[in-house]
Structure 1
């Protein structure tokens, strides 16, 4: 009987622990744990998709460590996985070239880029600028590349000092996206949407407290739903007495200003990463300082929820 699924789940859980805000796991400890567990698992791991994700993570860990030999060893392991067979060879060769370039081996990167280019001359120029700029210098007839800042765009951000302090994210920016009536992203808010952004900034403390107090009420039910073991519960879903405990369990990700308007103010959704569900996160839909619904990350941009409430 295969042991791969259990071991991959163990690795996945350890990875989740390493990404917690309270984690003390070092990169070296992470690498050593995965190396050891990976070798314990039988070859069935090469048919488990999560193992493919873990394998890619190890490639990145060794890139960060500038350890070319081990990075290549894990790239070779990627080739063994069933998921890698779905990609065209020019995509695989480009990816290997990008990894080699990031790891500091320009000669090997150029070899892989040439293999990719020989099969598909356009693909590399649709990927990361640092890769195609490097490769272009080695072409016999270099291409004319677009200006570096030509298509550069960044979502707008809002200053929320209380949120920064509460979540201990002093250097972070809180980005938001604006939806039009077709749920398409737009660059500029309407007058009503700007009212909502101004309201958020002026009332940031009470809005955050309302979100967290509402979450605190449903938190015991969430603990039952996720049912972490007594060993893992203190890391992922510890018992909380007040909202301060959420500072270590949540991090704001993106805000969404919807096109659903009520009395000149929009409904605004808030997305959070959360310790207990790294895949789905946490989403909150609000109207001014009122909490409409809390659920998975999709709630933060669920205009149907906003529309339904706006009609009451």
Structure 2
């Protein structure tokens, strides 16, 4: 797919300029994650040195475009690896969530069941967004998921060189990098 037109159609959010000195370019795209069709929000974070420079930003940086295009071209290979990594992470945290749901009087099997294979998590996670910062290295991005076991915070997956680097709650993942 040619992305030139899509880049120009991204919505610019520069209202946070006074606080963050960056511009967010947002768009939506349909994505197939391991057989699960999803529509996700994509955010390109572009830094600016002045308000005038911020207003002139119309597209992601070249590095961001390369990262995005490589991700999309390789997504059918990347997604199964991400799902396998999420499964490995989930096996390590499931007991904590099962105990919490039991304490709350809810059925832990509904939200945090035991699973043996990564495919069993496919209907328990939903990709919702992606973030590509201009301060990132090439081929570095963040995938965010809603998930059945942590309905408040979701799940964040940090990719470097299109390989899983770290997994944790979506809202805390950025704070540790």
TM-score above 0.5 = yes
Aligned-partner Cα distance in 1 for 2:61–2:175 = 17
Q: 213, 216, 239: which is aligned to 2:114?
A: 239
**Structure with the higher fraction of residues in helix conformation:** 1
Alignment partner of 1:285 is 2:158: yes
Cα deviations by residue, 1:195-254 (Å, 9 ceiling, x for unpaired): 111111111122211211112112122112212339712211111121111111111111
CA-to-partner distance for each residue in 1:45-95, whole Å, 9 max, x for gaps? xxxxxxxxxxxxxxxxxxxxxxxxxxxxxxxxxxxxxxxxxxxxxxxxxxx
CA distance in 2, matches of 1:181, 1:238: 42
1:225 to 83, 89, 96: 96
The alignment status of 1:188 with 2:59, answered yes or no, reads: yes
Superposition misfits of 4+ residues, deviation over 6 angstroms: none
Root mean square deviation of aligned Cα:
2.7
Post-superposition offset of 1:283: 0.8
Asked if 2 retains the 8 angstrom alpha-carbon contact of 1:199 and 1:288, the reply is: no
C-alpha displacement of 1:288: 3.2
Q: Which has the larger radius of gyration?
A: 1
Distance across 2 between alignment mates of 1:180 and 1:304: 20
SS in 2 for 1:278: coil
Q: How many residues align?
A: 144
Alpha-carbon spacing, 1:260–1:292, altered in 2? closer, same or farther (3 Å): farther
- Which whole-Å CA distance do the structure 2 matches of 1:180 and 1:273 have between them? 25
Q: Distance in 1 between matches of 2:147 and 2:85?
A: 15
Matches for 1:125-274 after TM superposition, within 5 Å:
153=11, 155-160=26-31, 162-163=32-33, 166-167=35-36, 169=37, 172-181=38-47, 187-226=58-97, 227=99, 228-229=101-102, 232-262=107-137, 265-274=138-147
Distance in structure 2 (CA, Å) of the matches to 1:187 and 1:296: 31
Which is bigger in relative contact order (C-alpha 8 A, separation at least 6)?
Answer: 2
Distance in structure 2 (CA, Å) of the matches to 1:260 and 1:299: 18
Q: Return the TM-score normalized by structure 1.
A: 0.42
What secondary structure does 1:203 align onto?
Answer: helix
TM-score normalised by L of structure 2:
0.70
Q: Which structure has more strand as a fraction of its residues?
A: 2
Cα displacement (A) at 1:191: 0.7
Any gaps of 5 or more consecutive residues in structure 1? 1-152, 306-312
Gaps of 5+ in 2: 1-10, 13-25, 49-53
